[in-house]
Structure formats: C-alpha cells, structure tokens
Structure 1
C-alpha cells in the first residue's frame, strides 16, 4: 500500500491547478503535521503496549487452561538473505511464548554460503526446525510449497526470511483459535522495522473488509491459515510470484467465511532496500502479479469484470460487469429551495436534476421528486422531463417518510436516495454504485461527497462510542486517507442517505427508513439494520458529487435525536464493542484514524 513519487507530484499539480497556492500549502502542512504527530504518537503507543514479564506469566497461565493447543507450521522460504536478518527471523520464532510450533524452512538454492551453515547449525540445537535445500531456484512460491510439504501443523503461518514475529504472535493466534475453533484465516496488525530495530509505520487494520481487500492486499502480515484449506486450493502458484500471498488469500476466501482479525501488532516487516516494505520501487513486478491475481479471481466470480490499476502501485480498482440494464429509481425529497452562491442564485433541485441528466453516462433511470406542495410552479415547469414523476406529501417535512413514499412509487430494481442539494460530477457515478449494489451480499452503497471548495463531506460513517462520525470530514479531496482508504472502495458500517443506493428488495425487506428519525440518523439506522441482517455496506470514491450540505434545511440535530439512536441500538453497539471497520488502537476522539 505504497504511494509512489509520481502520484505525489501529480497530486500536488492537481491541487495547485484547482485550489491555488494557499490551499496547496495548507494541504502540505496538514499532511506533514499529521505524519509527524502520528510518528511521535506511535513511539508512545509502543511503550504503552510492550509485552512485559508480567504479561508473559499471565499468558503461560492462560495456555495451561486451554482446551486446544493447535500446532503452527511456520513457512519460511529463504534465498540469499543476509545472515543477521535470517538469524533475527529465526530467533523471533524461537522466542515465542506459545511453544507448539515447527519452523519449516525451504532454501531456494541460495548461492550465499552462510545460509546452509546457519540452518544446519540451528537444526542441531532446535528439533522444531525443519529445513529443505532445494537444488534449483524456483522462486518464492515454489520454495513456499516445498516448505508446505513438510508441514504437520493444523495451521500455517507465513514469515519472510528477513522479518520478525512479535513475542506473543503465536500466543494471540492460539488464544483466538480457542475462542473460535472454526476459524480458517486470521490476520493481525503490523508495523515496519528498520536495520537498527526501530519500529515505525504501524498499520492498524479493519476487521474483514472484502471491498477494501479487492483494492489492496491489506491483510498482509501476519497471515495464519488452516493447513487443510491451503492444501485443498493447491498451495502457492508461481505465476503470481511477487503477489503470491494475495493470490493465495483470494482463493482462501472463496472457501470460507470464518475470517478473524487480531487488532494487535504481531509482525514486524523489515524495511531494507531489497524489501517491499521499503517502497514501491523495490519489487515493481509484484504489482503486475497483484493485478493478475485479481483478474484470475474475476474469472472465478459470479460477478466478472476487469481490473484497473491506479497511479498508486498496489492499489487497484475492480470493475464488475453490470448485469443487464436495470432501472434505477432516483428519489429526491425537495422543497425547491434556492440559495445564493458566488456565481449567483441556484435552485438546488433544478441544479441536481440538470447534473443527473447532463452528466450521467448510465441512462436507464427515473427521477421521483417528493415534495410538500411547496416547489414553485415555474421550477416544476423547468424540471419537467419524460422520466420524472412528482409525488406529493402533505405531512410536515419528514425525510424518512418522503423517501418511503417515493420508494412506494419506484419502478426500478434499484433505489437511489438523493438529496436535492447535490450535484453529480463523475459521469459514471451510477455505474460505479450499481456494480456494487447488484452483489447479493452488499446492502447500502454510498458515494464520496464534497463541499463546493473540494473538501470531504462524506467518505463513510464510523460509529465511535455510539456517535456516528464522518471519516476525514473537512479534509481535502486529494487526501488519500489512512492507507489509501479514501481512494478505494471500502466497507463502512454506514453511509449517508444524501446519496445512497440499495436494491429495492432489501429496502423493503428492511421496511424502509424508520420514520421515527424524521431528519437525522435515518440513514445510519437503515445501514445498521442492513449490517445486522448480514449485508455489508460500501463507500465508493469513484462516484463523486458536490454536496451543498444542509443548504435546504437547518443544520444540526434536533433535541433527543442522538439519544433516540443510542436507545434503539445500545445493546447492539455494546455487542460490537468497536466499529468493525475501524480499529480499537485508534483514537475514539476523532474519525481521522489517528492514534491519540
């Protein structure tokens, strides 16, 4: 998940052209300040979360009380690695608190003479180390498969020859297996480690997020997999060398839904010149292999399509073919409000509909405007179109009620809830949302909404201690987000109904919007019900609209709205403990994915 130099330069050029020098300088300052703040914060985090002798004693007591003591086979392909890194990698295994492991090392015909002597020496003193000396160099997948052949554990663990496991890595995985014996795939958080042993760049990951995974191999390290599944799918495939782990997991997740995330840093990825951790230039072929792995996945999928590479190496866009030519019913509650802008008066509804009609490349849609008999006649005459229907609602303004009334009139297979204070700016916005919403496991699909000046209004809703928060609210659109989360499809608990697509059958299954939420949180409530029903919600940054937020109604919450949401969902929030698409190590004070 690296961002290369060229993409950074292009980003700076776009910012300068669109926003001018002041906004460019503000953006650079914001990013630099954030990075420095997080760098300092992570060193504090390390001190606070270092495994102590007391923790080790407690862990050993827990191990004695476990019913299950799974055996881990650690797979380590080796090729011409410096002696000191190889020894550190092996020692990180030998130092594990949990002791039921075997280290399966396959040397891939290394030409460095110290490799054989180091491995031979370790095998004399450590019976849990197995090694194979391959006679031909077959590269990483072939070597990994050689190591896999001698593995006897119930689970395999992947370790690169120059990286390190944290002392509690296997303990935490064995602990989770005791809690969830059905687990087939476990991944943890990770960081990087330099040649001096200094740790940096932590990656605190969400729980299983399929759309994010199809955009980048975010699960990465530490990966733990049920051995029988790895053997069932045929192990590693050499044609995907460089992204062989990505290809492996893409096939694993087709076999199981028993996927768990440990929100602890259990793996230290060595950042040296020959390692992928050092940057995107270290192994450029890996990104071509990653694309091939995704293309292979699409060939097996019930939703075929194509893969597009982005300007960020290792970041992809999976485009699913839209099935048929389904009708999309766009439902817009409106009062025909006019606002003043720097360019003059603007009728929000008229501007919204004009942008839909003129910008959209997908043409099979109908527009349903729901009003309270208050849209001026001249505006109705101007927006009149053959695919537009007007639904009247005499009751006092209730967003949920008006959406439900519009949905009752909808002829489309898909509903698109849309505020009248939005303006479409990406031509394929409907296609970008449809290709996700058509998938049977997906509930609500949200878009990326921007303020008129280019700052982010919505790119996903996180729920932190019962408080719905917009991720990266107010950041510049050019900000890529935490590990590129703002520029790829990504799962969130909720999305805003200012632009929300959902299959009509799901909307009716969930009984529409709850009219007890007349203004706010009706979208959060809908998305939570979808998630609770087993659907996952997604935000796509490829559908972008300008949002003149709250221009058509008063800003802020009405008394009691937040308490109403929390009263309804209190038990569910407590059962979740933390938003599954966030991370418990990150700050609950803001939704900016910061440590403190």
Structure 2
C-alpha cells in the first residue's frame, strides 16, 4: 500500500487472508474495510482519487455516511495501465469506506485514496474522457474545434454537468428494497387522502376479480382476499371458483361460482358469467393487490373512459414474504406482447369486451389470460399502463410455455396467415409469420471503400459486406445500391462488379450520411428499403425474411436487427432515451444476454433503432421525405424513426435477425453540438419520457437496471400520478 493518503486495508467480514494481498471468501458477503475511521472521516465532503490493483476481482467501493443509504461505485479499469482509477465525491459525514470484491478468491493491492482539488479533478475528468475517444478524435485540432463548438451552443453549467457525468464512476444496480424505500413509500398518498380521492370520483367502476383455486389453496385464497379487503377503493367483488371449501368469512363481496366442468378455463368462465363488475381481472391464489391498486385503476379508467384494458407493474413474494423480482413494464407494445405475456397481472379489461371475444378458451389452459390479451388486441382494444407496482404475485407463478405457443399460433390463424411460434426461454417466444408476398428489397450501402482489420486480417469493408450478403442471404429478391463517396479504391470497385452491386456517386467531399442515404433511396427500385453500413456482415441467412415478417404487420413502420461486435458482445438491441438523448440499450453485454424479461432475446417495441441497419417501406420513407438532411452525421436515423412514429407507425427490434457490426467496441459516440441542440429543440419534449424504458432505470448506460440517481425523478412521476 503506497501513496499519500493511503488507508489501511483489513478484512471486515467473510474473508481470510492467504498471504499479503491475497484473500479467500469464507462466507456469502465478503468485504474489506479501509481505515482507520479517523482518516476516513477526514475525507468527508471531499473529492478523492481512489486507485487499486485487483486480480480476479471486480471491486465495488461502498461509501457509508450518516443519515443516508450506502452508496456503491464499481471501480473502473484504467484505460492504459493495470488497475483501477476513479474520482469520487464523498458525502459529508462519511463514516466508513469498504471494498466488496465480487469474487471468492482474489488479490488486491496498491490501494491508495487521496483528496484532490478542483483543478486536478477537472484535469482527471478531461483525461478520462479523451482516453475513451477514438484515436482520430484525440487530435488536438479536433479536440479544440469540438470544444469551441460546445462553448458556442451549450451553457457552461451544462458542459460541466456533461463532462462530470461522462467521466463518472459507474454505480452497480440499486436494490429493489432501496427503490421501495426511496420511491414507492414516500410517494403514496395517505389512507385519508385516498378516501377523499374515492369520494371525488365522478363515476366509479366496479371491479370483478376472477380466481380459480384448487385443493390446498385455502391459505393463498385467504391472502388474496385479505389484500382485497385492505383496498381503500370499496367497489369490488371476488368471484371464486374452488374445489376446496369456500372461506368462512363474513364478506358479502365474496361470490362463490360453480363451474360447468373441470379445469381452469371452466372455472374462470363460471366466474366471468357471474361477474357483475364493469371490469374484470384474473388473479391466481396468493396474489395480493397493493392497498392503493383498485383506486389507481379506478382513477385512470375514469380519466380515460375509452380504455378497454389497463395493466400495472408487479413483483413477486418470496417464501419469507419479502418483495422481490420487480417487473417495471413498458407502455402498450403490440410486438412485445407477441414475444411474451408482458402485461402480466394485474390487468383489468372491460367485462363486455371479454365476453364479446368468448372469454377463456380451454385449449389454452395454462396461458388463459395471455390468449385473452392476444384476442383483445386483435379486436382493436385500447390498452393503457399504470407505472406503479400494484400486485405482489407468488414466486414461481409462470405461463405454461406449450399453452402460450398454442395461443400464438391461434393468433396467426385468426389473422389470416400462417406462421410458427417457438419457445426461446421461459416466458419468451418467437412468432414468425410466413411472408404474404416477396417484395423487391433494395439494400442501400454508403461507403468510402476503406479497409479495416477484422480479426487479424486487413479486409476491404465493402467487399466483406457484399460477399456476406450474396453468400449468406437466403432471400433472393434483392438489389444492392452502393452510394460511392468520391472515387472508390480499386478493391471496392472490383467488389461491386463481382457481387452485382449498382453504384451511384455522391460527389460532395464532406461527410453527410443523411444526404447519401436519400440519394441511394432515390436510385433504388425496391418497394422495401434496407439502409446498411459497409462495416456490417450477415450472420443469420434469413435476416431479411425475419425483418420483413415484422414490417408486414399493420402499423409497423421501421425494423432493426440485433447487431453484435466482432467479439460477439451486443452492439444494438434497440435504442432508448435518457435525459432527452438516445443510446443503445445493454451495449457491450454478452451476445447470449437475455436482457430484461427477454428484451435482448425476443422482438420488442422501441422508439428507435440504429441506422447501421434498418428496414422501412419506400412509401413510408417517402411520405416523411426521407432522412432529414439538417442532421448530416448524428440523429438522422433516430429522427426518421420518430417522424414515422408521429404517423402512428411503430418501431420494432427484430431479435432473430443477427449481423456483425465491426464498429469499435469501445468507441465513444462523438456528437456535433449543433446537431445535438437541434435534436433537443425538435424532439426534447416528446422523448423526455420513453414509453418503452421506465424512468426508474439507469441511462448511463441504459441496461434496464435500477439506478438510485433516477429515483427522485421516478418519485416525482409517481407523486404527479396521484394528484
């Protein structure tokens, strides 16, 4: 241990020293303490630089201070030297610093903690940002030009905020218990306030909860009934079909239902027939509605009377009764619904709409409410979402995958097509419709014909891209249009001839992605356009069919594939918005990453997909006048997706289409400040809230992980929802 300000390192819990610097865990929660306590206290309220050299560990620094929850920071590997190097602002009244190694056996030495002044901190942040830039962007003149552009277009305070955040040490995901304490509990109105809200409702819907219970479910039914009796909102009934004796409770809102035959479908049909409420929802025995749940549903349905269905977020109850595994859901997402029953529970539907579509079909027993949701969606039901956790479901409750696949295949048959549904993982499915027609697809590729390293080989990117299209693509109704940026090198020209690509020259020497794409689209003949970077290589032979099958769904306007880096890690599985700007979700995660409830594994709706590969119908592209050429470099693809969405067209990430993208894995996006300012002016208000990415999740980077920094914003949103 060296360096001014170095603190001593000692085992705090669940650790044993093997030798100097070498440790082995002796329990489930190993941690080291930095001390002595007086030296730690002396650093309170100061910015400190912390360095260490770990081997076999991914250390997390835990900062404890009086009057606040512990803060955790995942220490960052240095870009050019071994070990980690971080700058962290310690809160006032810091009382303890700990290091959690995150592994069972590891080495940790050269730990140093020292305070730094404002100037040194600024230089440190600047160096970290510059080190992460592409080599060409680190040239002094490029840096100076970009800095001057920022100063002209962005206020100094905002520049400082961006620089600080860009160089900030990443925190591990926050705990769900922290979210409950920091967001949910302080945001909910009091019981007295909720009673006043009930009295203020001009029109009160009645809720019928349908429940089919089996032998041995008595205690679970009792828990669900107790949850209903704890509701502030009084207008409900529990329609219960059970093989066991009915609960002997004095509750007039408990209504026994006698099925016509055996099975869950018959039980729920009996409940549906007996229901007197305006809206129905299915709950399994043991599912407990949160006390404000029915009031939240009633207020939203009263405010939006044309809603046919309304769902909320949920979590699970562990064996000890603790709340775990939250599911913060996206807003209404038709293609996400085909990839899994993300609506879950609780979901209330208009009783008359459920009866009109036939209720519960016995052939889908095990996935009855998933099948119901699919049929209601086909019937044009308008579905809403309450972004609050309003149901605590028993652990282990899940769909029967075979029944879910039957429901999906029936959906295709009802909508007049053919197709195949496959299980990807528990609760995640791939529904592939057969193509009703095989339109000509024009693949538009802009290129300067440059070479690059792929693996250990230097290759011409255009040649590599064209060869992969011609040799691996199964779809045959394609044409390739290459937009030549100036005079291409001979290897690129020869590749175009060899692979049958048609060229059009973009003569302006300045780089202008939007103009090149528009030129290529005008030159192309296809009914469907695919915009493709030249550093793409095809992986799945049916990538075009998979994307076309989604584009053929009425209401879908843009489709983008899964892109992976050269090392197989994720580059693109959809674009989400945080703080008003777009970013790739789960970028850098392993290639087989399932994501959040299958978000990487299965098709999903997003606000945007990347222009590195996107598919759009020519008619839709021309209806919005193509790419906006006021965005020559950045945001042109995102802007296109958002303008198509303004025309009520959805954007879909297609998980079954996979391609390599030989972009530098560690590249930091470099954005022209004027384009950024223009994007914020045009779209800032519309993307301030991403309907497909809940506000409680982190945005630096976006990964569907709880982030304590976002808790205040999420709490404000919940407070607003109750006003």
CA distance in 1, matches of 2:258, 2:102: 49
Shift of 1:40: 6.0
Shift of 1:38: 8.1
- Asked if the contact 2:602–2:654 (Cα under 8 Å) also holds between the matched residues in 1, the reply is yes
- Decide whether aligned partners of structure 1 residues 322 and 54 sit closer, same or farther in structure 2, where only a CA change above 3 A counts: closer
- Asked if the contact 1:438–1:503 (Cα under 8 Å) also holds between the matched residues in 2, the reply is no
Structure 1 stretch displaced more, 67-76 or 296-305: 296-305
- Decide whether aligned partners of structure 1 residues 409 and 33 sit closer, same or farther in structure 2, where only a CA change above 3 A counts: farther
Provide the secondary structure at the position in 2 that maps to 1:457: strand
- Asked if the contact 1:419–1:498 (Cα under 8 Å) also holds between the matched residues in 2, the reply is yes
What corresponds to 2:200 in structure 1?
A: 65
What corresponds to 2:272 in structure 1?
A: 148
1:510-536 CA distance string (max 9 Å, x none): 110001111111000000011111000
- Decide whether aligned partners of structure 1 residues 54 and 530 sit closer, same or farther in structure 2, where only a CA change above 3 A counts: closer
Query: Is it true that 1:380 corresponds to 2:486 in the alignment?
Result: no
CA distance in 2, matches of 1:199, 1:226: 29
Provide the secondary structure at the position in 1 that maps to 2:372: helix
- Asked if the contact 1:102–1:128 (Cα under 8 Å) also holds between the matched residues in 2, the reply is yes
- Decide whether aligned partners of structure 1 residues 389 and 595 sit closer, same or farther in structure 2, where only a CA change above 3 A counts: same
What corresponds to 1:564 in structure 2?
A: 678
Aligned pairs for 1:497-536 (under 5 A) are 497-536=611-650
CA distance in 1, matches of 2:309, 2:608: 26
RMSD: 2.4
What corresponds to 1:42 in structure 2?
A: 176
Provide the secondary structure at the position in 2 that maps to 1:404: helix
What corresponds to 1:126 in structure 2?
A: 251
What corresponds to 1:85 in structure 2?
A: 220
- Decide whether aligned partners of structure 1 residues 344 and 51 sit closer, same or farther in structure 2, where only a CA change above 3 A counts: closer
What corresponds to 1:106 in structure 2?
A: 241
Query: Is it true that 1:594 corresponds to 2:701 in the alignment?
Result: no
CA distance in 1, matches of 2:309, 2:581: 31
- Asked if the contact 1:415–1:502 (Cα under 8 Å) also holds between the matched residues in 2, the reply is yes
- Asked if the contact 2:466–2:495 (Cα under 8 Å) also holds between the matched residues in 1, the reply is no
CA distance in 2, matches of 1:436, 1:322: 9
What corresponds to 2:459 in structure 1?
A: 346
1:399-440 CA distance string (max 9 Å, x none): 100110110111111000000111111111111111111223
Shift of 1:76: 1.4
- Asked if the contact 2:496–2:502 (Cα under 8 Å) also holds between the matched residues in 1, the reply is no
CA distance in 2, matches of 1:477, 1:53: 40
- Asked if the contact 1:263–1:585 (Cα under 8 Å) also holds between the matched residues in 2, the reply is no
Shift of 1:51: 7.2
Provide the secondary structure at the position in 1 that maps to 2:349: strand
Q: Which has the higher relative contact order, 1 or 2, with Cα contacts under 8 A spaced 6 or more apart?
A: 1
What corresponds to 1:276 in structure 2?
A: 397
What corresponds to 2:689 in structure 1?
A: 578
CA distance in 1, matches of 2:476, 2:196: 64
TM-score of the superposition, structure 1-length normalised? Answer: 0.87
- Decide whether aligned partners of structure 1 residues 495 and 593 sit closer, same or farther in structure 2, where only a CA change above 3 A counts: same
Unpaired runs of 5+ residues, structure 1, are 1-23, 278-282
Structure 1 stretch displaced more, 143-152 or 373-382: 373-382
Unpaired runs of 5+ residues, structure 2, are 1-55, 59-73, 76-100, 104-170, 708-723
Query: Is it true that 1:184 corresponds to 2:308 in the alignment?
Result: yes
What corresponds to 1:441 in structure 2?
A: 555
- Asked if the contact 2:174–2:706 (Cα under 8 Å) also holds between the matched residues in 1, the reply is no
Shift of 1:387: 4.1
What corresponds to 1:13 in structure 2?
A: none
Q: Equivalent of 2:545, from 431, 440, 448?
A: 431
Query: Is it true that 1:410 corresponds to 2:524 in the alignment?
Result: yes
Query: Is it true that 1:173 corresponds to 2:287 in the alignment?
Result: no
Provide the secondary structure at the position in 1 that maps to 2:517: helix
What corresponds to 2:478 in structure 1?
A: 365
What corresponds to 2:654 in structure 1?
A: 540
Provide the secondary structure at the position in 1 that maps to 2:486: coil
CA distance in 2, matches of 1:83, 1:51: 34
Query: Is it true that 1:208 corresponds to 2:344 in the alignment?
Result: no
